[in-house]
Structure 1
């Protein structure tokens, strides 16, 4: 299954994002909230940092986690416009293979690390959440190679480009938000996750959402049974997770 077919679906939420646009390590960034002690790095999916759904999620997280939320541009200014055709799954006419070369793990990982290091210097507590494309990135932020850790905990919804090595090397509390049907986070990886993470000595929260598909936590459709409810539940589950680790009890 190609990356494009799994990711390009959904609809734009209603509402107007209420944050501001700024910079972090010279990357354009959507910023929501103003807590001086706790931050959340939100790593976007294929639609990038301007996608309204993700900005609205950032607003929710800022209010409900009481954190400053950063949604940087990790695509170098390139934007996949959420046109009706693309949202319906028609990616013809767009150079998606080229897009993925320009925005590969190897290209974007240094920027992801740089942002996390900058947040770590500024905030006492830092969490990271990534959807689809952002899934591999938050696992890399939580890897055991970082000492001290770059983040205090991570969460990911329907991760893409994730490897068994990423899973084996996680060293911070990890939450997975997992639709039942996901052609990117396949059953083999799900089984490997269950076999591996409980042996690593980190807190582990696996949330299963029956009947929904990859992409639903950001681009779920009112026309598909259960997707809007899954979006709300996944948002609430992430909020509860971060509230456990980003604030003193």
Structure 2
């Protein structure tokens, strides 16, 4: 029987390091989506119209960020390890699945209405959301295409067994070995359950690294740097396999 209460968030979801690089996207709005949207395009793409279908970019990827994304918490406190200054219970209430799921669905529907192919990737807090978009209950939408064509999930938080039982599109799991949120029991359940779903899945095990490493790892730490590189390459390969023509 599926579990209905997710494991509470822990401080492992708050650990982070800064990366080098300059964002290239812009903040805009999408029809039917209640929140501002950060949009980034590949090089040499026509970006003059973000509210209608564009033939130059027939594929879209919805990135559902982790707990530290887009001003959710005090980032300086997280970087300094001052976790006692961060109100995790308050975050859990404000960012509860029941609060954010309608918004996540709205994003996916907005993209599906504009793009031929749509993938979703979610890390930590975003993991449960990406799995929800893969659920069979949405397969009848958009002429049977569903909300997404494939998903990738990295060290998910707040997941329940039913999230894996509902998957009906190809799914990739990126799983660090040491993870308070994606426990060995949940990993085993996911691995066994996805084999029964009749959909392709890719399980990537990252030995010796912890929960946050794939998106908040320290590039100066050899093991974490290698995990970030491998995780990035695995994600790109997965989307190329399922989203390209």
What corresponds to 1:79 in structure 2?
72
What corresponds to 1:182 in structure 2?
179
Of 211, 218, 222, which residue of structure 2 is paired with 1:221? 218
1:91 and 1:4 mapped to 2: Cα distance?
10
TM-score w.r.t. the length of structure 1 is: 0.84
Shift of 1:23: 1.4
Contact in 2 for aligned 1:5/1:89 (Cα 8 Å): no
2:101 and 2:202 mapped to 1: Cα distance?
25
1:182 and 1:88 mapped to 2: Cα distance?
21
Of 119, 124, 138, which residue of structure 1 is paired with 2:130? 138
Shift of 1:105: 0.3
1:80 and 1:199 mapped to 2: Cα distance?
38
User: What is the root-mean-square deviation of aligned Cα atoms in Å?
Assistant: 1.5
User: Does residue 14 of structure 2 align to residue 8 of structure 1?
Assistant: yes
1:45 and 1:180 mapped to 2: Cα distance?
18
> Which consecutive residues of structure 1, in runs of 5 or more, have no partner in the other structure?
50-77
Shift of 1:10: 2.2
Q: Indicate the SS of the match to 1:180.
A: strand
1:79 and 1:194 mapped to 2: Cα distance?
31
Cα offsets for 1:71-100 (capped at 9, x unmatched): xxxxxxx531321x4124322223221121
2:29 and 2:109 mapped to 1: Cα distance?
14
What corresponds to 2:69 in structure 1?
48
Shift of 1:26: 3.5
Q: Indicate the SS of the match to 2:85.
A: coil
Alignment coverage as a number of residue pairs: 219
Contact in 1 for aligned 2:74/2:86 (Cα 8 Å): no
Larger Rg: 2
Contact in 2 for aligned 1:39/1:119 (Cα 8 Å): yes
1:4 and 1:88 mapped to 2: Cα distance?
16
1:182 and 1:95 mapped to 2: Cα distance?
21
Of 12, 32, 45, which residue of structure 1 is paired with 2:40? 32
> Which consecutive residues of structure 2, in runs of 5 or more, have no partner in the other structure?
1-6, 46-55
